[in-house]
Amino acid sequence: MEPTKKTFGTAPVFFTAISTILGAILFLRFGMAVGVLGFLGVGLIILTGHLVTIPTALAISELATNEKVEGGGEYFIISRSFGLNIGATIGIALYFSQAISIAFYIIAFTEAFSPLFDFLKEQYHFILPRQAISIPSMLILAFIMLKKGASMGVRTLYLIVAILFTAILLFFLGKTDYQLAGDYQTFSIRNMDKFFLVLAIIFPAFTGMTAGVGLSGDLKNPARSIPIGTIAATLTGMIVYFFIAWKLNISASPDDLVSDQLIMARIAKYGNIVIPLGLAASTLSSALGSIMVAPRTLQALAGDRSFPGHGLNKFLSRGKGETREPFNATLITSILALAFVAVGSIDSVAMVITMFFMVTYGALCLISFLYHFGADPSYRPSFRSRWYISLVGFVMALTLMFEINMLYAFTALVLIVVVYLFLHHYHKDRRGFEAIFQAAFYQINRNLQVFLQQRNRTSRSRRWRPSVVCISKDSFKRDHAFRLLTWISYRYGFGTYIHLLEGYFSTQTREQAEQQHKLLVKKSDTENSNVYIDTLISPSYTSAVAQVIQLPGVSGMENNTILFEFDKEDPVNLKQIIDNYSLARAARYDVLVLGSATSPFHFGKDIHIWITPYDQENANLMILLGYIISGHPDWSHSSLKLFATSSSDEAEETRSRLLEKIAQGRLPISSKNVQVVERSEETSFKNLVNMHSTEAGLVMCGFVSSRLKHDKEALFTGFDDVGNILFVNAHEEKSLS
**What mean pLDDT do residues 236-255 have?**
91
> Assign residue 632 a region: left if phi > 0, alpha if psi is -120 to 50, beta otherwise?
beta
pLDDT of residue 214: 61
- Helix and strand tally (H, E) in the chain? 28, 10
Q: pLDDT band at residue 566, thresholds of 50, 70 and 90?
A: very high
- The DSSP output letter for 701 is E
pLDDT tens across 199-221, in order?
A: 877 877 787 777 766 666 667 77
Q: What is the mean pLDDT of the chain?
A: 82
The pLDDT of 212-240, averaged and rounded, is 79
Q: What is the pLDDT of residues 53-77, one digit of tens each?
A: 899 888 888 877 776 666 566 777 7
pLDDT digits (tens, 9 = 90+) for 70-128: 656 677 777 776 677 778 888 888 888 888 888 888 887 787 777 777 778 787 777 77
Residue 285 has a CB neighbour count (10 Å cut-off) of: 27
Rounded mean pLDDT, 315-341: 81
Q: What percent of the chain has pLDDT over 90?
A: 21
Q: Mind listing the pLDDT tens digit for each residue in 132-187?
A: 887 888 888 778 777 765 555 566 677 778 888 898 999 999 888 888 887 777 77
Highest mean pLDDT among 293-307, 420-434, 563-577: 563-577
pLDDT confidence of residue 461: 42
663-697 confidence digits (pLDDT tens) = 877 888 888 888 988 887 778 889 999 999 998 99
pLDDT at 729: 94
| Residue range 695-715: mean pLDDT, rounded | 92
CA distances (Å), 201 to each of 29, 42, 400, in order? Answer: 8, 12, 12
pLDDT value for 459: 44
* Rounded-to-integer distance, Cα 697 and Cα 484, Å: 12
Query: Is the per-residue pLDDT at 322 higher than 70?
Result: no
DSSP strand pairing (725-729 vs 590-596)? antiparallel
Most confident of 97-106, 141-150, 393-402, 643-652: 393-402
Per-residue confidence (pLDDT) for residue 100, from 0 to 100:
82
pLDDT at 315 over 60: yes
Q: How confident is the model at residue 565 (pLDDT cuts 50, 70, 90)?
A: very high
pLDDT value at 469 more than 60: yes
Residue 266 has pLDDT above 80, yes or no: yes
Please tell me the predicted confidence (pLDDT) of residue 703: 93
pLDDT at residue 453, rounded to an integer: 63
- Most confident range (mean pLDDT) of 22-36, 44-58, 515-529, 656-670 is 44-58
Q: What pLDDT is stored for residue 551 in this prediction? A: 82
User: Which pLDDT score is estimated for 622?
Assistant: 92
720: burial class by Cβ within 10 Å (0-12, 13-18, 19+)? Answer: exposed
Check whether 305 has a pLDDT greater than 90: no
**Does pLDDT of 347 surpass 60?**
no
Confidence tier at 650 by pLDDT (50, 70, 90): confident
The pLDDT confidence band at residue 377, using thresholds 50, 70 and 90, is: low
Domains plus CATH for the chain?
Answer: 10-318+326-426 (1.20.1740.10), 467-729 (3.40.50.12370)
Q: How far apart are CA 295 and CA 466, in angstroms?
A: 55
> What average pLDDT does range 483-500 have in this prediction?
90
pLDDT of residue 1: 42
Total-model pTM: 0.66
Q: Please state, in angstroms and rounded to a whole number, the distance separating the CA atoms of residues 672 and 324.
A: 77
Task: State the DSSP string of 265-311.
Answer: HHHSTTHHHHHHHHHHHHHHHHHHHHHHHHHHHHHHHHHTT-SSSHH
For 141, half-sphere exposure in the C-beta direction (CA atoms, 13 angstrom radius) is 31
Of the two residues 278 and 2, the one the predictor is more confident about is 278
Q: What pLDDT score was predicted for residue 228? A: 87
pLDDT digits (tens, 9 = 90+) for 351-376: 666 787 788 888 888 888 888 877 66
What pLDDT, on a 0 to 100 scale, did the predictor assign at position 699? Answer: 94
Q: Which of 445-449, 489-493, 653-657, 689-693 has the lowest mean pLDDT?
A: 445-449
The lowest-confidence range among 222-226, 410-414, 684-688 is 222-226
pLDDT of residue 409: 85
Cα 54 to Cα 47: distance, rounded to the nearest angstrom: 10
- Residue 396 CA to residue 375 CA, distance in Å, equals 23
Nearest residue to 366 via CA among 442, 433, 446: 433
